[in-house]
Protein backbone atom coordinates (compact mmCIF):
# COMPACT_ATOMS: atom_id res chain seq x y z
CA UNK A 1 0.00 0.00 0.00
CA UNK A 2 1.28 3.46 -0.90
CA UNK A 3 2.58 5.59 1.92
CA UNK A 4 0.40 8.42 0.63
CA UNK A 5 -2.84 6.46 1.17
CA UNK A 6 -5.15 8.25 3.59
CA UNK A 7 -7.05 5.78 5.78
CA UNK A 8 -10.32 6.75 7.45
CA UNK A 9 -12.46 4.64 9.78
CA UNK A 10 -16.13 5.49 10.21
CA UNK A 11 -18.09 4.26 13.22
CA UNK A 12 -21.77 3.80 12.35
CA UNK A 13 -22.82 2.04 9.14
CA UNK A 14 -26.29 3.42 8.48
CA UNK A 15 -27.62 5.83 5.89
CA UNK A 16 -25.91 8.75 7.62
CA UNK A 17 -22.65 6.81 7.36
CA UNK A 18 -23.02 6.51 3.58
CA UNK A 19 -23.41 10.28 3.33
CA UNK A 20 -20.27 10.80 5.44
CA UNK A 21 -18.27 8.23 3.46
CA UNK A 22 -19.14 9.78 0.12
CA UNK A 23 -18.09 13.22 1.34
CA UNK A 24 -14.87 11.75 2.73
CA UNK A 25 -14.14 10.21 -0.65
CA UNK A 26 -14.82 13.51 -2.42
CA UNK A 27 -12.30 15.35 -0.25
CA UNK A 28 -9.47 12.88 -0.68
CA UNK A 29 -9.85 9.97 1.74
CA UNK A 30 -8.97 7.02 -0.48
CA UNK A 31 -9.21 4.07 1.95
CA UNK A 32 -12.49 4.14 3.86
CA UNK A 33 -13.70 1.38 6.22
CA UNK A 34 -16.71 1.08 8.49
CA UNK A 35 -17.05 -0.34 11.97
CA UNK A 36 -20.48 -1.17 13.36
CA UNK A 37 -21.89 -3.48 16.02
CA UNK A 38 -23.98 -5.18 13.33
CA UNK A 39 -20.76 -6.47 11.78
CA UNK A 40 -21.37 -10.07 10.75
CA UNK A 41 -25.01 -9.39 9.90
CA UNK A 42 -23.84 -6.63 7.57
CA UNK A 43 -20.62 -6.57 5.55
CA UNK A 44 -21.17 -3.44 3.42
CA UNK A 45 -22.37 0.12 3.89
CA UNK A 46 -23.09 1.27 0.38
CA UNK A 47 -19.92 0.50 -1.58
CA UNK A 48 -17.65 0.55 1.48
CA UNK A 49 -16.73 -2.49 3.61
CA UNK A 50 -17.72 -3.03 7.23
CA UNK A 51 -14.62 -4.58 8.75
CA UNK A 52 -15.41 -4.95 12.45
CA UNK A 53 -17.41 -3.95 15.49
CA UNK A 54 -16.80 -1.24 18.09
CA UNK A 55 -14.29 -3.35 20.03
CA UNK A 56 -12.31 -3.97 16.84
CA UNK A 57 -12.25 -0.25 16.09
CA UNK A 58 -10.67 0.57 19.45
CA UNK A 59 -8.15 -2.23 18.98
CA UNK A 60 -7.18 -0.93 15.52
CA UNK A 61 -7.10 2.84 16.03
CA UNK A 62 -3.42 3.07 15.11
CA UNK A 63 -4.13 1.63 11.64
CA UNK A 64 -6.07 4.74 10.60
CA UNK A 65 -5.07 8.33 10.01
CA UNK A 66 -8.37 9.53 11.42
CA UNK A 67 -11.74 8.37 12.77
CA UNK A 68 -15.22 9.76 12.18
CA UNK A 69 -18.38 8.98 14.15
CA UNK A 70 -21.13 8.69 11.54
CA UNK A 71 -24.12 8.34 13.87
CA UNK A 72 -27.11 10.68 13.59
CA UNK A 73 -28.31 10.40 17.20
CA UNK A 74 -26.79 13.35 19.07
CA UNK A 75 -26.29 11.66 22.46
CA UNK A 76 -24.84 8.46 21.04
CA UNK A 77 -22.54 10.44 18.75
CA UNK A 78 -21.33 12.50 21.72
CA UNK A 79 -20.65 9.40 23.83
CA UNK A 80 -18.76 7.56 21.09
CA UNK A 81 -16.74 10.61 20.07
CA UNK A 82 -15.75 11.30 23.67
CA UNK A 83 -14.65 7.69 24.15
CA UNK A 84 -12.54 7.83 20.99
CA UNK A 85 -10.83 11.05 22.08
CA UNK A 86 -10.09 9.49 25.48
CA UNK A 87 -8.52 6.56 23.63
CA UNK A 88 -6.23 8.93 21.71
CA UNK A 89 -8.00 8.87 18.35
CA UNK A 90 -7.62 11.69 15.84
CA UNK A 91 -11.06 12.79 14.62
CA UNK A 92 -11.75 13.98 11.09
CA UNK A 93 -13.81 16.95 9.92
CA UNK A 94 -15.86 16.17 6.80
CA UNK A 95 -17.02 19.14 4.69
CA UNK A 96 -18.66 18.56 1.34
CA UNK A 97 -16.99 20.42 -1.55
CA UNK A 98 -20.53 21.39 -2.54
CA UNK A 99 -21.16 23.27 0.70
CA UNK A 100 -20.65 27.06 0.75
CA UNK A 101 -18.77 28.20 3.84
CA UNK A 102 -17.28 31.59 4.66
CA UNK A 103 -13.51 31.48 5.24
CA UNK A 104 -14.16 33.05 8.65
CA UNK A 105 -16.20 30.07 9.88
CA UNK A 106 -14.64 27.77 12.46
CA UNK A 107 -15.67 24.10 12.39
CA UNK A 108 -14.84 21.70 15.24
CA UNK A 109 -13.47 18.17 14.93
CA UNK A 110 -15.92 15.37 14.24
CA UNK A 111 -18.37 17.66 12.43
CA UNK A 112 -20.11 16.92 9.13
CA UNK A 113 -21.18 19.63 6.66
CA UNK A 114 -23.34 18.11 3.92
CA UNK A 115 -24.00 19.06 0.28
CA UNK A 116 -25.82 22.32 -0.28
CA UNK A 117 -25.28 23.69 3.23
CA UNK A 118 -24.47 27.40 3.52
CA UNK A 119 -22.64 28.86 6.52
CA UNK A 120 -22.08 32.60 6.50
CA UNK A 121 -19.48 34.95 7.97
CA UNK A 122 -18.78 34.98 11.69
CA UNK A 123 -20.51 31.69 12.52
CA UNK A 124 -18.99 28.99 14.70
CA UNK A 125 -19.67 25.28 14.43
CA UNK A 126 -18.71 23.13 17.39
CA UNK A 127 -17.44 19.56 17.61
CA UNK A 128 -19.52 16.62 16.45
CA UNK A 129 -22.08 18.88 14.76
CA UNK A 130 -24.16 17.91 11.73
CA UNK A 131 -25.16 20.66 9.29
CA UNK A 132 -27.31 18.60 6.99
CA UNK A 133 -28.37 18.82 3.34
CA UNK A 134 -29.33 22.30 2.18
CA UNK A 135 -29.35 23.84 5.67
CA UNK A 136 -28.56 27.57 5.93
CA UNK A 137 -26.67 29.03 8.88
CA UNK A 138 -26.56 32.79 8.49
CA UNK A 139 -24.02 35.25 9.88
CA UNK A 140 -22.77 35.17 13.48
CA UNK A 141 -24.55 31.99 14.54
CA UNK A 142 -23.11 29.62 17.13
CA UNK A 143 -23.98 25.94 16.79
CA UNK A 144 -22.56 24.14 19.81
CA UNK A 145 -21.17 20.62 20.16
CA UNK A 146 -23.23 17.63 18.98
CA UNK A 147 -26.17 19.66 17.68
CA UNK A 148 -27.93 18.58 14.49
CA UNK A 149 -29.26 21.14 12.02
CA UNK A 150 -31.50 18.99 9.84
CA UNK A 151 -32.01 19.23 6.06
CA UNK A 152 -33.53 22.42 4.74
CA UNK A 153 -33.41 24.27 8.07
CA UNK A 154 -32.85 28.03 8.09
CA UNK A 155 -31.03 29.81 10.94
CA UNK A 156 -31.18 33.60 10.71
CA UNK A 157 -28.33 35.83 11.88
CA UNK A 158 -27.10 35.55 15.44
CA UNK A 159 -28.95 32.35 16.36
CA UNK A 160 -27.46 30.23 19.13
CA UNK A 161 -28.07 26.49 19.09
CA UNK A 162 -26.90 24.96 22.33
CA UNK A 163 -25.17 21.64 22.89
CA UNK A 164 -27.04 18.53 21.76
CA UNK A 165 -30.04 20.34 20.28
CA UNK A 166 -31.95 18.84 17.35
CA UNK A 167 -33.46 21.35 14.93
CA UNK A 168 -35.91 19.43 12.75
CA UNK A 169 -36.14 19.31 8.97
CA UNK A 170 -37.41 22.46 7.29
CA UNK A 171 -37.50 24.57 10.46
CA UNK A 172 -36.97 28.35 10.45
CA UNK A 173 -35.37 30.21 13.35
CA UNK A 174 -35.61 34.01 13.43
CA UNK A 175 -32.61 36.20 14.24
CA UNK A 176 -30.92 36.15 17.65
CA UNK A 177 -33.04 33.33 19.08
CA UNK A 178 -31.45 30.85 21.52
CA UNK A 179 -32.30 27.16 21.14
CA UNK A 180 -31.50 25.55 24.49
CA UNK A 181 -29.35 22.55 25.29
CA UNK A 182 -30.79 19.16 24.27
CA UNK A 183 -33.91 20.78 22.80
CA UNK A 184 -35.93 19.19 20.03
CA UNK A 185 -37.49 21.51 17.45
CA UNK A 186 -40.15 19.73 15.40
CA UNK A 187 -40.07 19.50 11.62
CA UNK A 188 -41.36 22.58 9.83
CA UNK A 189 -41.52 24.73 12.96
CA UNK A 190 -41.04 28.50 13.01
CA UNK A 191 -39.20 29.59 16.14
CA UNK A 192 -39.72 33.25 17.07
CA UNK A 193 -38.58 33.26 20.72
CA UNK A 194 -35.99 31.56 22.91
CA UNK A 195 -36.52 27.88 23.74
CA UNK A 196 -35.41 26.70 27.18
CA UNK A 197 -33.05 23.77 27.78
CA UNK A 198 -34.39 20.21 27.57
CA UNK A 199 -37.72 21.08 25.97
CA UNK A 200 -39.63 20.17 22.81
CA UNK A 201 -41.18 22.85 20.61
CA UNK A 202 -43.40 22.40 17.56
CA UNK A 203 -45.59 24.43 15.25
CA UNK A 204 -45.99 27.84 13.62
CA UNK A 205 -45.08 29.69 15.73
CA UNK A 206 -43.31 27.01 17.76
CA UNK A 207 -44.74 26.34 21.21
CA UNK A 208 -43.41 24.21 24.06
CA UNK A 209 -44.89 20.70 24.21
CA UNK A 210 -45.02 18.80 27.49
Q: Is domain 93-205 classified as CATH 2.160.10.10?
A: yes
User: Which one is catalytic: 16, 139, 148, 210?
Assistant: 139
**At residue 47, does pLDDT exceed 50?**
yes
Domain ranges for the chain = 7-92, 93-205
Which residues make Cβ contacts (< 8 Å) with residue 83, sequence separation at least 6? 58
Annotation marks residue 148 as catalytic: no
Residue 5: the pLDDT is 83
Please state which architecture CATH assigns to domain 7-92: 3-Layer(aba) Sandwich (3.40)
What's the pLDDT band for 210 if we cut at 50, 70, 90?
confident
pLDDT score for 195: 97
- Quote the pLDDT of residue 3: 55
- Write out pLDDT tens, residues 69-111: 999 999 999 999 999 999 999 999 999 999 999 999 999 999 9
Q: Work out the number of other CB atoms within 10 angstroms of the CB of residue 152.
A: 18
CA pair distance 100, 117, nearest whole angstrom: 6
Amino acid sequence: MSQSTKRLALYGAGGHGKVAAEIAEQIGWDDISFFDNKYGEKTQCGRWPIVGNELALFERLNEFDSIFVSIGNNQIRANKQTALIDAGASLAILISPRAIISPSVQVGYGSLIVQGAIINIGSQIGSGVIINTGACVDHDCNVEDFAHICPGTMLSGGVQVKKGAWVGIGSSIIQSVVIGQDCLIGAGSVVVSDIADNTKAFGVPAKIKH
